[in-house]
Chains A and B, each alone.
Chain A
Amino acid sequence: MKSERPLEGGMRSDSPSKARPALEMGRITKHFGATCALDQVDFGLGKGEVHALLGENGAGKSTLVKIISGAIRPDQGEMHLDGRPYHPSDPLDGRRSGVSMIYQELNLAPHLTVEENIMLGKEVHQAGFLRRREVRKKVKETLDFLHHPEIALDVPIRRLSVGARRIVEISRAIIDRAKILVMDEPTSSLTREDTDRLFQVIRKLRDEGVSIIYISHFLEEVQAVADSYTVLRDGKNVGSGNMAKATLDDLIQLMVGQKIRDLFIRVEHQRGEALLSLTGLKGKTMQEPLSLELHRGEILGLAGLIGAGRTETLRTIFGLDALDKGSVEIIGKKSIKARPWSRIAQGMGLLSEDRQGEGLALSRSVMDNVTLSHFAPYRRFGFLSVNKRSKAVAGWIDSLKIKAQNPGQAVLSLSGGNQQKVALARLLHQEADILLLDEPTRGIDVMSKSQIYEWISRLAAQGKAVLFVSSYFPELLGVCDTIAVFYRGRLVDIRPARDWSDERLMAASTTGRA
C-alpha cells in the first residue's frame, strides 16, 4: 500500500482546465422492464466543476449516477473518464477509477469508529493483520484537510452528530484521491450551519481539481454551490448550462415542464378559538419548558436548526416522549399525561420526520398504512371489511394524487413524495383536528411539495390546526400564518409570518436573538 498524502500537492487549482472534461457521457439509454429510465442522455462534467443534477423524483437522476458509479450498466451509450473509455463493472471498480459516491441516507457502520469507517474496505494490512499507525496519519490528514480536525478517530460513529457523519463519509470518499465525487442530497439531514460548512468543503475540493456532481432538491443551495447544471425530466436531458445565468424560475420550469404559477397555493382561512394550549410543558427529552397556543384555522411554523428541540416538542405533545411537568390543554380540557393512542382519540395526529424508520410501515400496503390509526369505520364484530377499506383508501389516493396502482400496493415501491402523501393521508383519514407535521416535505420533489402545501392550507380552511416543523425557511414563510423560532431547546420568538423574512429567521435560529 502506498503511503501517499491525500490530495495535497498532487492536484492544483491553478489550471482548472474546463476544456478537457473529466467525464463525458454520450447517448446513455437504460430500460427497466418496459419503462425507459434514461433516453439518449448526454452529460458532460468539467474538471474542477460543481455540476448540479436536477429533476423531480423519478426523472432519472439516480439511474444516471448509478451508471456513473458502476452500480448499474447502461443498455446503450458510452462513457469517457479523463478521455479514456470508462466501463465500471461494479461500484468498487468505479471507485478504483476515481469515482466515489455519497448517498442521501448515511452509509456508515454505527458501531465502528471514525477511522474504521473511513478505511472500511481498504484497510492497510500485512498478512491480514491491520497496520494502523500509517493509516491513522492518513485519516487525520484527510480530516484536517476538510477543516474538521475536531473529529476524533476513535469515537464510534453513533456518538457523532449528523453533520460530523457527513464529513466522515466525505473523508471516506476522498481519502483515495477521488477524481469525481457524486453527492446525492447531502444536506437533506443537515442544519444550515452544517450545510454552510459542507459547502466550504465542496469548494475546497473543487479548487483542488475534484469534479463534483451535486444532486439536491434545495434549489437555493444548488444555486449557491454549483457552477453548472443539468436538468433531467422523464429520463431526458432537458437543459444544461451555466448556473450563474439561470434563475430559480428557469430551473423550476425545466424540472416540472409546466409552469407552476405559485409553489405555495394558499386557501384562505380564518383563525378561530384555541385548540391546543401548552403551559410550561417540559418533556424528558426537552431542554426548556414551553408555553404555546395553537388555534383553529392556524398554521404555526416551528423554525430552527436541527437539534433545536422542535421534534422533541412534537413528540412530547403527542405522548411519544415522557412528560416531566406542565400541562397540555385540548379544546379547553386539561389532558396532561397521555399516550399516542389517547392523543389520536383526542383528534391529534403526528407525521414523523423519519418516514422510513417510524412514519410508515414500508413493506405494508398503502391501504394498511393509511388506515392504521383509524380502523373503527371498517370494524364489525372485530373483523375488518377489506372492501370498504379499499374503497375508502382509493378515494384518498385520488384526492391526494398519490401515484399508486391500487390500495394494495406496498408503500416501499412508491417514490419519496408519494410515500409522504400516504403518511399525510393517514392523518386526514383519521380526521385529526390537530396536525403535528415534522419535516413533511423533506427529500421529496417540487410537485409533491406544492401539493402538500396546498393540502396544509386547505386543512386550515377546514378549521384544523397545524404545527409545521421545517428547517427550510422559504416553505415556512410561504405556508404558515405564524412562525415560532426555536434555539437550543427554547422558543425565542413568535410572530406573524409576514413579520419574518428568510434572513430574520436565519438570524434568530442561529443566534437565539429576536
Chain B
Amino acid sequence: MKKKTKLQSLINLLAPFLGLILVIAIFSSIPDVQSRFLRLANLKSVATQSVIVALGALGMTVIIISGGIDLSPASNIALSSVITAFAINAGISPLISLILGIAAGGFIGFINGGLITELRLVPFIITLGMMGIARGVAKWIAGNQKIDAPLTWVNELMAKSPRPAWLWLAPGVWLMIVLAVAMAIFLRYTVFGRHVFAIGSNEATARLCGVRTKRAKIIIYTLAGLFCGLSGVMEFSRLTVGDPTVAVGLELDIIAAVVIGGGSLSGGEGSILGSMIGVFIMSFLRNGCTMMGWPNYIQEIIIGIIIVAAVSLDQIRHRRAA
C-alpha cells in the first residue's frame, strides 16, 4: 500500500514532464531533424519563442486556479506592444515606454477584475468583451497600421544573441525564468496564493472564511494583465514595430498551455511548473514540425490532439487518485 502511494507520487511528480520528454524524444529520433533539433542554438531559439506565451500563461495559471478564465490576453498583448511603440516613437525614454506598456496591460486586467466582481458576470463574458475592446483601442491608437519605432535597447530583450555574451540567453528568457520561479513561490508559500486555490475550489467557502474574494479577484486579474503587458513589450521587442493585429488567437495557446499543464477549468487545480511545461511542449512541437517541413495545418492538428490527450490523461490520473 505504502509502496504504491510512493510510486504513485513519483509518477504524479514526473507526469507533467513525460509529455515534454516524449515530444523531444520523438523529434530527436527522426534522423532528418535530429542533428538540428538538439543543437543548443535551436534550444535557445525555442526558449525565446516561448517567452510571449509563457508570460501570458503565468497570469493565466493564477486566473484558472481561481476558477476564472481570461480571453483578452492576445488583444492586451497587442495593445501593450502598440503603446510601447507609440511612446518610444513619441520620444519618451525607453524605460518609461516599457513601464507604460506594462501598466497598460495591468490597467486592462484591473478593468476585467473590477467588472467581473462589480457586475457579477462570469469572467468569460467580461473578458470576451475586453478582447474586442482592447484590440479595437490598439488599432485606434496605431491608426490602423503598424507603428515604427526607432531601435533602442528594448529591442534587445528578445535578441537571440544577447549583447553581453555571458548572458547566453536573451534577457527576456531570463526574465521569464525568474518570474516563473517567483510565481511558483508566490502561489505555494503565501497567504494570497492559498486564497487563490481556495476561491477556485469553493468560492462560497472562501468568502465564508473571511477571504476577501472580490479584492483577491481584482488582484488576480490585474496581475495577469501586468504579465500580458510585459508580454506585449516582448512582442514589440521582437517585432521592432507596434502591430495592433499581432497575436490574434494567442489567448487560446495560453489557455491550452495551462490546461496541458494540469490546470482545471473548474478551478482549484493548476501549477506554474505544469503551465511552463505546457508552453514548451507546444513550442517544441511547432519547432519540430517546422524542421520536418510539415505545413502549418499539420502542426495545428497535432496540437489539437495533444490538448485533448493531455487533459484526458490528467483526468484518468485524477480518477485513479481519488
Contact = CB atoms under 8 A, between A and B. Distances in A.
A172 B200 CA distance: 19
Contact of B194 (A103, A108, A110, A123): A123
B209 interface: yes
| Interface residues of B, dominant DSSP | helix
A133 to B, nearest CB: 13
A110 B210 contact: no
A492 interface: no
Nearest to B185: A129
Which residue of A107, A116, A122 has the most chain B CB atoms within 10 A of its CB atom? A107
Interface in A126-182: 128-130, 158-159, 172
A92 interface: yes
Which residue of B204, B205, B269 has the most chain A CB atoms within 10 A of its CB atom? B205
A274 interface: no
B191 A123 contact: yes
Contacts, number: 65
A117 B210 CA distance: 12
A107 B208 contact: yes
A159 B319 CA distance: 12
Which residue of A109, A129, A130 has the most chain B CB atoms within 10 A of its CB atom? A109
B interface bracket (residues with beta carbon within 8 Å of A): 20 to 34
B189 A109 contact: no
Contacts of B322: 158-159
B107 interface: no
B106 interface: no
A127 to B, nearest CB: 9
A130 B206 contact: no
Contact of B189 (A112, A129, A172): A129
A105 to B, nearest CB: 9
Interface in B190-245: 190-192, 194-195, 197-198, 200-202, 204-206, 208-211
Given A128-B192, A159-B322, A109 B208 contact: no
Nearest to A110: B201
A111 B191 CA distance: 16
B194 A116 contact: yes
Interface string A99-127: 00001000111111000110011110100
Contacts of B190: 125, 128-130
Given A109-B201, A110-B201, A120 B189 contact: no
A130 B210 contact: no
Which residue of A108, A121, A125, A128 has the most chain B CB atoms within 10 A of its CB atom? A121
B268 interface: yes
Nearest to A108: B205
Contacts of B202: 107-110
B189 A111 contact: no
Nearest to B193: A130
A174 to B, nearest CB: 14
A91 interface: yes
A110 B269 CA distance: 11
Contacts of B191: 123, 125, 128-130
B207 to A, nearest CB: 9
Contacts of B200: 111
B216 to A, nearest CB: 11
A277 to B, nearest CB: 33
Contacts of A110: 201-202, 268
A95 interface: yes
A121 B202 CA distance: 13
Which residue of A103, A110, A120, A123 has the most chain B CB atoms within 10 A of its CB atom? A120
B209 A172 contact: yes
Contacts of A116: 194, 197-198
Contacts of B204: 107
A108 B190 CA distance: 20
B268 A111 contact: yes
A172 B204 CA distance: 15
Interface in A293-350: none
A172 B211 CA distance: 14
Interface string B159-201: 0000000000000000000000000000001111011011011
Given A130-B189, A130-B194, 7 more contacts: A109-B206, A120-B195, A120-B198, A121-B211, A129-B189, A129-B191, A172-B209
Interface of B: 189-192, 194-195, 197-198, 200-202, 204-206, 208-211, 268-269, 322
A-B pairs, top 3 by smallest CB distance, nearest first, are A121-B209, A109-B201, A111-B268
